[in-house]
Amino acid sequence: GAVVSQHPSRVICKSGTSVKIECRSLDFQATTMFWYRQFPKQSLMLMATSNEGSKATYEQGVEKDKFLINHASLTLSTLTVTSAHPEDSSFYICSARVGEGGHEQYFGPGTRLTVT
């Protein structure tokens, strides 16, 4: 299957700092990538849809100025958590859709963010 990587896999940062998470499709081009957040014992919640070359579409309740998404190429999307707070500590997972009309998504391994 298609491979999606994420970096870093784990990051600990201090409150008030910014953290950038990268999501790459390794063996395919992804015009659309998705960013999810998962709190302990909860399901994945879609944060935003990242489209190559255009602005991301954010889900209701997700602050676009806090979670900056850049999808500058067909293989890379980045999520920057700005001015992180402890409540932003979570498991962030990206996924990429294969092909324009594909419904399946392939997930990155996730990034565990801890804000102290």
| Nearer CB in complex with other proteins: 36/75 | 36
Nearest distance, CB of residue 83 and other proteins, angstroms = 26
Interface residues with other proteins (CB under 8 A) are 1, 34, 36, 42-46, 49, 57, 91, 93, 103-110, 112
| Nearer CB in complex with other proteins: 11/82 | 11
Phi and psi angles of residue 22, each rounded to the nearest 5 degrees, phi first? -105, 145
The amino acid occupying position 79 is L
Tokens 């998705």 locate to: 34
| Token reading at 35 | 């960013």
Residue 98 CB-half CA count within 13 A: 11
Tokens 């999501």 locate to: 23
Nearest distance, CB of residue 34 and other proteins, angstroms = 7
Nearest distance, CB of residue 16 and other proteins, angstroms = 27
